[in-house]
Amino acid sequence: MLQKTNVVYVLFTLILMSGIIGCKNKHAAVKKEIVKVPEEMDDQITENIKAVLQFAHDNNGKINDSSKLYLFNVVNSFYDNNNYHNIWSRKEKWMPLADSMFDFIEHSKYYGLYPRDYHFNELTALRKKIIEDTLAKKDAIVWTKADLLLSDAFMKTLRDLKEGRLLPETLSITRKPKYIDSFFIKNLTEARNIASLTNLFNSVEPANFRYQSLKNLVKDFVDNMDTTRYQFIVYPQKDSFLLIKNLQKRLVQSGLAKPLDTLPDSVLLSKEIKKYQSANKLRKDGKFGPKLIESLNNFDQEKFRRIAITLDRYKLMPDTLPLRYVWVNLPSYFLELWDNDTLIIRSKVIIGKPETRTPVLTSAITDMVTYPQWTIPESIIKKDILPALKKDPGYLAAKGFNLVDSKGDIVDPYTIKWSKYSKGIPWKIMQGSGDDNALGVLKFNFNNPYSVYLHDTNQRYLFQNSDRGLSHGCVRVQKWEQLAFYIARNDSLNTTKEQKLAYDVDSIKKWLSNRDRKRIFIKNRLPLFIEYFSCEARDDKLVIYKDIYNDDAMLAEKYFANK
């Protein structure tokens, strides 16, 4: 840690800070510190670094009114271990390491990062100043600031490539950071011996093939993207005035509406919307709704934010995935079964509606049930069934449901005074097994606190829909039979004779044929990941899915609002 300075050194530091920092007085004169002999420059920078870090320590990481070290503690620790020597320059010349860092920051969008998050504007100005101003080249204050900002940029780049920028609690998960201060210090110490930082930065990124496949497509997207900053429209929006204001601004940006000093009336707004709808092959109704807003928000800057969020989501995943696992990517409406890096099954799925969303979770399939009964969740009873029962107790029979008490006995719904219940009921509502059951003829159970599962469905025609957010939260699987048979074969291959496996593929076929209700416990539980990745690489092409639950919009507003 920094040592306490004597009174003379404190006075020197305060004088120096008035030059380097301007202190907190924005009107303080900015002083230069010209070093005439290049061989003496590094020693002066070392003294300055120590003084500036002391100032930053006392000022929440700030080194002046406009610059702050994002990761002050690790930057401070690094320089403390390095005796405060500068590392990015020598004798008024940039080291190759600095050139590599400048280049990486400039092209950091290829990694889903934003250059300005890594002091890009300040460093570019300092670099230009040193090139164009011969006096600035001899100014130790300029070199000092550049050294500190480059070190901070290095540390932040390292952290953001490894951990991402999304806080785990934002995604309803908790994971400990994969790094400690020594991780940063070790990497920057070792980096001094290399000319290019690209390989080092690549080494800390996720090895996940989905991450790598997506990142490999980002460069081409960035090189060809339209960098125009369009108005993003939050929808739904409680503030109707703000919604119309932003909608009008976005329509003006599209070139299909004229700027106005006031908000347009409903007739003019409808006319402008129709122009946009016609130009973009949307239904020409003159109304604003989800389809219109989705189209208006589908610009390249917003797509890049979605890419950045997706890459960061992967950084919150485990470093390695199991040998065999089931992967459900909610925005894609698809389930995948992977075995030893080989895609075995790719199946359409139906997932929860936005108001009854399917949760993101990690679990493992524990058992399967043929011809299952459906115990209806309390949330559905409260929202949908109870209001229907108040109107007509015959609703249950019409839907094929039974009212069941704690002993398992069927209760006559006509004997209940439904009007006195509002928050729930003291009975279960169940649907018997059969072809009409909402779960279909087979379901897959896995431990989770949300009472959701994978299952077949009695509405298989819905898999034809392109938008398949239709369920109450469970995941309906089109290729449920293939998944069940794979699990059976996997158990057969990985179970010894002594373990006496109680089922196989033929058993499942027989139980299904006979309409038998059987619970099948799986010996080798199959890991399950239900995730939310709105961008992915498919067949070497970038695919961006609809943000069905507005998760990306929420994260973009929180972390990348002004990017």
Domain ranges of the chain: 7-205, 321-373+436-532, 375-431
Q: Across residues 509-517, what is the average pLDDT?
A: 96
State which CATH number among 2.60.40.3470, 3.40.640.10, 3.40.50.2300, 2.40.440.10 fits the domain covering 321-373+436-532. 2.40.440.10
Average pLDDT of 217-221?
98
pTM of the prediction? 0.87
pLDDT over threshold 90, residue 65: no
Instruction: Determine the pLDDT at residue 366.
Output: 98
- At 469 the pLDDT is 98
Question: Average of pLDDT values for 162-181?
Answer: 66
Average pLDDT of the chain to the nearest whole number: 90
Task: Give the pLDDT score at 499.
Answer: 77
Alpha carbons 477 and 448: distance in angstroms, whole number: 18
Q: Mean of the pLDDT values across residues 215-222?
A: 98
* 90 has pLDDT over 60: yes
Query: What's the confidence (pLDDT) of residue 28?
Result: 28
**298-336 CB burial, b ≥16 within 10 A, e <16:** ebeebbbbbbbbbbbbbbbbeeebeebbbbbbbbbbbbb
Least confident span in 313-322, 495-504, 522-531 = 495-504
Residue 509 corresponds to which amino acid? K
In the numeric block, the tokens 């920078």 are attached to 45
Q: What average pLDDT does this structure show over 489-513?
A: 91
Mean pLDDT calculated for residue range 30-55: 90
**How large is the average pLDDT for residues 256-273?**
92
Judge whether residue 18 has pLDDT over 70. no
> Does residue 276 contact residue 256 with C-beta atoms inside 8 Å?
yes
Which residue of the set 57, 107, 119, 474 is catalytic? 474
Does 178 have pLDDT greater than 90?
Answer: no
> Which pLDDT does position 423 carry in this prediction?
84
Predicted local distance difference test score (pLDDT) of residue 498: 76
C-alpha span between 295 and 490 (Å, rounded)? 44
Please tell me the distance from the alpha carbon of residue 271 to that of residue 173, in angstroms, as a whole number. 46
Give the pLDDT score at 173: 42
Residues 6 or more apart whose Cβ sits within 8 Å of residue 101? 88, 150, 153, 154, 197
Q: In the prediction, which pLDDT does 177 show?
A: 57
In the chain, the percentage of residues whose pLDDT exceeds 70 is: 92
Question: In which band, very low, low, confident or very high, does the pLDDT at 8 lie, cut at 50, 70 and 90?
Answer: very low
Determine the pLDDT at residue 168. 66
Rg (CA), the chain: 31
Q: Judge whether residue 155 has pLDDT over 60.
A: yes
Residue 407 has pLDDT above 60, yes or no: yes
pLDDT for 31: 57
Which of 172-176, 184-188, 286-290 is the least confident region?
Answer: 172-176
Lowest mean pLDDT among 178-182, 202-206, 475-479, 510-514: 178-182
Q: What phi and psi values does residue 59 have, to the nearest 5 degrees?
A: -130, 40
Rank 108-117, 261-270, 278-287 by mean pLDDT and report only the highest: 108-117
Q: Are 41 and 143 a contacting pair, CB within 8 Å?
A: yes
Q: What is the mean pLDDT of residues 494-512?
A: 90
Distance in Å from the first CA to the final CA of the chain: 36
What residue ranges in 1-97 does DSSP mark as E strands?
A: 89-90, 93-94
Catalytic: which of 119, 455, 472, 535? Answer: 455
Average pLDDT value for residue range 318-336: 97
45-54, 173-182, 286-295, 372-381: which has the minimum mean pLDDT? 173-182
User: What pLDDT is attached to residue 236?
Assistant: 83
Q: What is the mean pLDDT of residues 382-396?
A: 93
Percent of the residues in the chain that have a pLDDT greater than 90, as a whole number = 80
DSSP state of 139: B
Q: What is the mean pLDDT of residues 481-494?
A: 96
Q: Tell me whether residue 535 is one of the annotated catalytic residues.
A: no
Q: Is residue 21 very low, low, confident or very high in pLDDT (cuts 50, 70, 90)?
A: very low
474 included as an active-site residue:
yes
- Range of weakest confidence among 158-162, 202-206, 432-436: 432-436
Res 1: pLDDT: 44
pLDDT reported for residue 500: 83
